[in-house]
Amino acid sequence: MTERSVAVKLASAQAERYLEDLIEIASIPSISTLPEHATDVRRAAGWVCHRLSAIGFERVESLPTEKHPVAYGEWLHASGQPMVLIYGHYDVQPADPLDQWRSNPFEPSVQGDYLYGRGVSDMKSQLLAFLEALELTRQTGELAVNIKVLVEGEEEIGSPSLQSFCVNERDRLSCDLVLNTDGGMLAKDLPALVYGLRGLAYFELQLSGPDHDLHSGMFGGTVHNPGQVLCELMAGMHDSAGRVTLPGFYDQVRALTPEERADIALAPYSDEEWRRMTGVPELFGEEGFTTLERVGARPTLEVNGLWSGYTGEGPKTVLPASAMAKVSMRLVPEQDPDTVERQLRSYLEQNAPQTVRWDLKRLAGSPPVSMRRNSLAMQSAAKALQETFGRKPVFTLEGGSIPAVSILQSVLGVDTALVGFSLPDDNIHSPNERFYIPNLSRGVEAYIRFLNHISTLGEA
């Protein structure tokens, strides 16, 4: 039996200890957004550093950033082998609303096959799984690859310090590939590999007409109402087929290949379930695409907020001086926020009437991310997941964005595999967050296999 298969055997034998360790780290309320928990956040960073030192990692440090520290450690003794940077986060979302929890969010409790507590699924179970995988591999032999570990404390607030941290620490973090452990599965026994995340371009549009609110009886019919103009402009941004009408909006959009469409169709999913989840009377979207394609592979434009005129109780016959909309686009490869901003501006130049002035502000922008499906990182992850769960992982595209993925990929210029074991119904960010306990030791196994495959497939 090879050392590596010993480690995998041991992984499943130690399930009870993993659970104890998970309960320990999940008991620390490391809520990154709340200043009163800053000490807990530092305590969680310290916990990770302590574990890394115990495994025999070197240069272990809690590195300061503008806000919360990054826990870092490395082991660089596999000469000639690839350098893997493992990314995770130790911070969690607030537990509110507390009265909807059936148990204390920071006293994790076992109920059946699940552990309940804030952060158990997102993502302290994954954090623990890769730490245990490193420890077990070290105990039964030597790590097959060189490893750097970066665990941040700001993921749940959008990773505001990560970009500058990575730029400043580029040398320390240099690597051949990234294993991002903040991923998930499609079902208990169905692993997934995300290979694309949508980007975002977010704007605020302000229209102004008269220089003060007017009496609608005295001036109505003679002055163009900014509220009406705003509605017409917003309505004109989609056509009747659900397509976005900004000039050139689809020019950069990469078309799905037949293989990708077949893969997306493999995910367990039904329109009826989607309808039930959202509570709408009927689904809506761009013609010619399935719901999952619309979510992951197609760009969208959404009104996030509309405001104009009088919104209090009872009538007020006002012709408002201004109107405002928050509008954002989810972007797919190869779109980018700058180009989309130009497209939105040219739509407004062509369509806004001379009767109002408009002002457009960009509030946020991040490019979409795509990960090469045939990279060493992705192939090693696919193999490790298949061996662990007995099923090929499904390649998926995700609708949201994970800043850390795009930051690490762009600053370090390397491939990423996004691997994790949380489930769609784990209630992450919600009351009664939970983690399916059997996937803790499977997670350890999968990470051990992943590191091993990086070494062996890397040689091929």
Binding residues vs Zn ion (CB under 5 A): 122
Sheet of 109-111, strand order: 109-111, 114-116, 434-436
Can you tell me the distance from the alpha carbon of 247 to that of 245, in angstroms, rounded to the nearest whole number? Answer: 6
**Least gap, CB of 445 to Zn ion (angstroms):** 24
In terms of residues, how long is the chain? Answer: 460
**Least gap, CB of 89 to Zn ion (angstroms):** 8
Write the CA distances from 297 to 89, 174, 286, 314, 329, integer angstroms.
Answer: 27, 31, 11, 44, 13
**Closest residue by Cα to residue 416 from 380, 365, 456, 392:** 380
**Least gap, CB of 122 to Zn ion (angstroms):** 4
Residue facing Zn ion at closest CB distance: 122
428 touches 121 (CB < 8 A): yes
**Least gap, CB of 29 to Zn ion (angstroms):** 15
Structure tokens that stand for 65 in this block: 């950033």
**Least gap, CB of 312 to Zn ion (angstroms):** 36
**Least gap, CB of 49 to Zn ion (angstroms):** 22
Q: Which is nearer to Zn ion, 158 or 242 (CB)?
A: 158
Q: Which is nearer to Zn ion, 206 or 427 (CB)?
A: 427
Helices (H), 147-270: 162-168, 170-173, 216-219, 226-235, 258-264
**Least gap, CB of 425 to Zn ion (angstroms):** 15
Cα-based angle 178, 131, 105 (whole degrees, multiple of 5)? 105
β-pairing, 58-63 vs 70-75, is antiparallel
Other beta carbons within 10 angstroms of residue 313's beta carbon come to 6
Q: Which is nearer to Zn ion, 122 or 132 (CB)?
A: 122
Q: Got the DSSP string for 32-96?
A: TT-GGGHHHHHHHHHHHHHHHHHTT-EEEEEE--SSSPEEEEEE--STTS-EEEEEEE--B----
Q: Which is nearer to Zn ion, 122 or 445 (CB)?
A: 122
**Least gap, CB of 92 to Zn ion (angstroms):** 8
Q: Which is nearer to Zn ion, 94 or 285 (CB)?
A: 94
**Least gap, CB of 182 to Zn ion (angstroms):** 8
Q: Which is nearer to Zn ion, 128 or 356 (CB)?
A: 128
Q: Which helix (H) or strand (E) holds 155?
A: none
Q: Is the dihedral of CA 445, 450, 456, 460 positive or negative?
A: positive
Q: Which is nearer to Zn ion, 122 or 426 (CB)?
A: 122
Q: Which is nearer to Zn ion, 123 or 331 (CB)?
A: 123
Can you tell me the distance from the alpha carbon of 418 to that of 191, in angstroms, rounded to the nearest whole number? Answer: 11
**Least gap, CB of 62 to Zn ion (angstroms):** 21
Task: Look up residue 57 and give its amino acid.
Answer: F
**Least gap, CB of 155 to Zn ion (angstroms):** 6
Three-state DSSP class for residue 163: helix
Q: Which is nearer to Zn ion, 122 or 293 (CB)?
A: 122
Q: Which is nearer to Zn ion, 260 or 433 (CB)?
A: 433
**Least gap, CB of 41 to Zn ion (angstroms):** 15
377 touches 454 (CB < 8 A): yes
**Closest residue by Cα to residue 78 from 165, 169, 142:** 142
Q: Which is nearer to Zn ion, 122 or 154 (CB)?
A: 122
85 touches 412 (CB < 8 A): yes
Q: Got the DSSP string for 349-373?
A: HHHS-TTSEEEEEEEEEE--EE--T
Q: Which is nearer to Zn ion, 122 or 176 (CB)?
A: 122
